[in-house]
Amino acid sequence: MITLYQFSTSPFTEKVRRALNYKGLDFEVHEVARPKVAEGDYQHVSPTGKFPAIQDGDRAVWDSTDIIHHLEEAHGGPSLIPSGARDGALAHAIEEWADESLYFYEMTMRLTWEHNLDAALDEFAQSLPSVPKPQLKTMIVQATTQLIQAQGVGRKPREQVVADVERHFQALDALLTDGEWLVGDALSIADLAVIAQVNALCYAEEAKAALGRTSQVSPWINRVNEAAPK
């Protein structure tokens, strides 16, 4: 039995859950107690303190990309890595776009713009029940602001962030113009990485509006949800 150690609020957790479901693998979920991470309670499964992580028999794997590649090597089920060299490279590039670019936009819009954070706050509060919500909100805004300012997106004015996300969504729409999936003729790791970030982004009312101006993205979301439930 695979055990998934997760923060339910993380898009990377959604990415891994979808991969497990797509492959039809049995797994159980352990919700990580955030205060316990710093105390070292999860060193056995994630020495870096990164989540999601899995325990698969005697093997612990952390980082969502590494987890999916481990599942490819260790288990059966439909593949998430395209077989052709070009499609495999393209899936990798799109996954990186989601994990390393869209991620910082979703953190900016979902977790530092207070009118959007209100929609997500209850979910974060479940893993920190002893922290009053006003204090938790301040903690999330402060911690995330520091991170995104160091990365760069957080130094952009809001109107530029919104314009960037609009372009990202239009690019996603264009990628789906000639096919049902982002790469090749089957769902892949690229689809799972992108949909997880899109769902996190859509906690933001500005991102929802941008999604509404696409034509291909919503049908693609429905296809991914059917093939690989979250």
7 and 93 part of one domain:
no
Q: Which domain holds residue 57?
A: 2-74
Are 124 and 27 within one domain?
no
95 and 153 inside one domain: yes
Helix (H) or strand (E) holding 30: strand 27-31
CA distance 66 to 38: 23
Residues 106 and 207 in one domain: yes
168 lies in the same domain as 59: no
80-128 pLDDT per residue, tens = 999 999 999 999 999 999 999 999 999 999 999 999 999 999 999 888 8
138 in a structural domain: yes
Residue 28 β-bridge partners: 3
Mean pLDDT, rounded, for 204-225 = 98
Task: Note whether 70 and 18 are same-domain residues.
Answer: yes
CB 105 within 8 A of CB 161: yes
Number of domains in the chain: 2
The answer to whether residues 99 and 190 belong to one domain is yes
- Distance separating alpha carbons of residues 4 and 52, to the nearest angstrom: 7
SS3 215: coil
Within a domain: 116: yes
The answer to whether residue 80 sits within a structural domain is no
pLDDT digits (tens, 9 = 90+) for 2-45: 999 999 999 999 999 999 999 999 999 999 998 889 888 999 99
Q: What is the pLDDT of residue 150?
A: 94
Cα dihedral across residues 166, 63, 25, 23: positive or negative = positive
Residues 166 and 187 in one domain: yes
* pLDDT (tens digit per residue) in 41-86: 999 999 999 999 999 999 999 999 999 999 999 998 999 999 999 9
CATH number at residue 93: 1.20.1050.10
Q: What angle do CA 79, 84, 86 make, to 5 degrees?
A: 120
Q: How far apart are CA 225 and CA 230, in angstroms?
A: 7
**Could you say which of 74, 101, 136 is where a domain stops?**
74
φ, ψ for residue 48, nearest 5 deg: -85, -10
* Inside any domain, residue 52: yes
Tell me how far apart the alpha carbons of residues 145 and 100 are, in angstroms, rounded to a whole number. Answer: 16
Backbone angles phi, psi at 3, to 5 degrees: -110, 125
Same domain for 117 and 199? yes
Question: By three-state DSSP, how is residue 187 classified?
Answer: coil
Question: Rounded to 5 degrees, what are φ and ψ at 4?
Answer: -100, 120
What is the tens place of the pLDDT at every residue in 131-186?
Answer: 999 999 999 999 999 999 999 999 999 999 999 999 999 999 999 999 999 999 99
Residues 96 and 140 in one domain: yes
pLDDT at 130: 86
